[in-house]
Structure 1
């Protein structure tokens, strides 16, 4: 069999379109969502990502506030900026781009963000709310994965799901979201015994382990739906060349067994920024006592 390709790029465009429609309705009420992104240092990948976030924020009709700080910026100065953004009524969402320089405590910075403006969903308050089934800001990548799965299946109730990876950013919140949608969830990781057999029992496989092409076709149940969160660059085949981008799933073998699969690139990646915009919209609606946008939240 040959798997259906889940087009995250096209779905993300639909999400951004829905966000823009809601933002236009808010504008009629005199409300304009604002997203502040803070970048410390000059990491090339982070710079590209921040530029893309800013561009898509403006295209959705939102206000984009970019704060680019030197790598030598002190922890105290960064915390002072976060406090300023917390108290700025024009800012509805705050995102501090990770990783931060070594001299800055990431946990302290994330903990300083107002949980209501924490559009990354990393604040411990939002983590706890998600884990206990309450209203929370949800991390963007897991939210994007959930949207793709809901679109494919309709209802996830009763599905068996395996999340490969236990990170705080993807693995753990992904498992919580699947539980909330009534899946039976297993988290597999580097210490899982007979991991291939564990994965092979799943209707849904979410691979978020950070190892290139780790999950192969023979790990999968025929017809399983595979969401590949990984993005890894393989070494170039020749000197001066550009290495190939691959996921945590061996796409060639997996697509012969799976029922549906996300590609890398063009799968989960585009959904992350789309969900960042959705979270900013949700935060704006909550701040103004308005109904949350349907289909754009967990």
Structure 2
């Protein structure tokens, strides 16, 4: 099956969101809290700010070079009470010494555009979450598009807060049989699953022949080899006209993540504006 073009899908969706943002009574406003001096986090925040502004919305970045848990929570509470702010995002990971759980739990549910609040995660089991985590929503949309089976068998390989844990609750909420493994295991028959999400595994170690024809393989493992980004799957193995679909690295889930954040922001503005 063909490779799924995440970058192309993202461009189309962002044009749609730009038009939706124009029609809102109030311009969507995202507040981002960045704690510490991690360069990778700073880079991600810049990408998010640029994407928000590209759809005509606004983004405020609150950069705390040094902060305690109490100081970060105080800022979250201030932004919760600001009616001009539609979404609050705390860039993860937080520095050691700052309690991530306490900070995330402090975000107002209606402004939790990252979808990481414990209540949002728990409501996923019944499909009643206010917001879905960005990578999870991207994957669910792809499953709806490419997998015709109402309750596909799902295999999730990983253990992350932003992807595997939310996906587990969401697929269970859809009454899908779900298997979760923290790491890639050679003894598993991967052809038994219609949806496979690869988060943990060695770079370029998985071939298309391991999966059933027509299944959907999501590569969510980001690695660098010889200075170039790559995933867990060997992308070339999936390029024939038959076999499984692949959302690759690069050009797959990455571009869709920020787009789903934009979708949640527009949704929040339409509800809270």
Q: Would the TM-score normalized by the shorter structure come out above 0.5?
A: yes
TM-fit CA distance, 1:255: 4.4
Select 1:140's aligned residue among 113, 125, 134.
Answer: 134
Q: Which runs of no fewer than 5 residues in structure 1 stay unpaired?
A: 237-242, 289-298
Aligned equivalent of 2:79, options 73, 79, 85: 85
Q: Does structure 1 retain, via aligned residues, the 8 Å contact 2:138–2:253?
A: yes
**8 Å CA contact 2:18, 2:55 repeated in 1:** yes
Relative distance call for 1:180 and 1:11 in structure 2 (3 A) is: farther
In the other structure, the counterpart of 2:264 is: 279
Report if aligned partners of 1:157, 1:182 keep a CA contact under 8 Å in 2: no
Provide, for residues 178-213 of structure 1, a one-character-per-residue CA deviation record: whole Å limited to 9, x for no partner: 344454332233386822x1x221122111225423
Quick one: distance in 1 between partners of 2:149 and 2:42? 36
Task: Tell me the distance in 1 between the aligned counterparts of 2:158 and 2:168.
Answer: 10
* CA–CA separation in structure 1 for the residues paired with 2:124 and 2:170: 8
Structure 2 residue aligned with 1:19 = 17
Instruction: Name the SS of the counterpart of 2:160 in structure 1.
Output: coil
Map of 1:200 onto structure 2: 191
- 1:245 and 1:269 map into 2 onto residues whose CA distance is 11
- The alignment partner of 2:23 has SS state of helix
Query: Which of residues 86, 111, 116 is equivalent to 2:105?
Result: 111
The answer on whether the counterparts of 1:156 and 1:182 sit within 8 Å (CA) in structure 2 is no
- From the superposition, tell whether residues 266 and 174 of structure 1 become closer, same or farther in structure 2 (CA, over 3 Å): same
Alignment correspondent of 1:291: none
Partners of 1:45 and 1:191 lie apart in 2 by: 26
CA 284–210 in structure 1, closer or farther in 2 if over 3 Å, else same: farther
Q: Is the 8 A contact 2:32 2:89 kept in 1?
A: yes
Which SS does the other structure have where 1:205 is aligned?
strand
Superposition RMSD in Å = 2.1
- Residue segments in structure 2 that go unaligned for 5+ positions in a row: none
Residue number in structure 2 paired with 1:220: 211
TM-aligned CA deviation for residue 226 of structure 1: 1.1
Specify the alignment match of 2:60 in structure 1.
65
Q: What secondary structure does 1:4 align onto?
A: coil
Partner residue of 2:70 out of 76, 95, 99: 76
CA contact (8 A) 2:211 2:244 kept: no
Instruction: Provide the C-alpha distance between the structure 1 equivalents of 2:204 and 2:28, rounded to a whole number of angstroms.
Output: 39
Structure 2 residue matching 1:10: 3-state secondary structure? helix
- Paired residue total: 272
CA contact (8 A) 1:93 1:118 kept: yes
Partner Cα distance (1:77, 1:32) in 2: 28
1:130 matched to 2:114: no
**Equivalence for 2:92:** 98
Q: Which residue of 1 aligns with 2:230?
A: 246
* Segment of structure 1 superposing worse, 266-275 or 53-62: 53-62
Q: 2:153 aligns with which of 160, 167, 170?
A: 160
Which residue of 243, 249, 253 maps to 1:264? 249
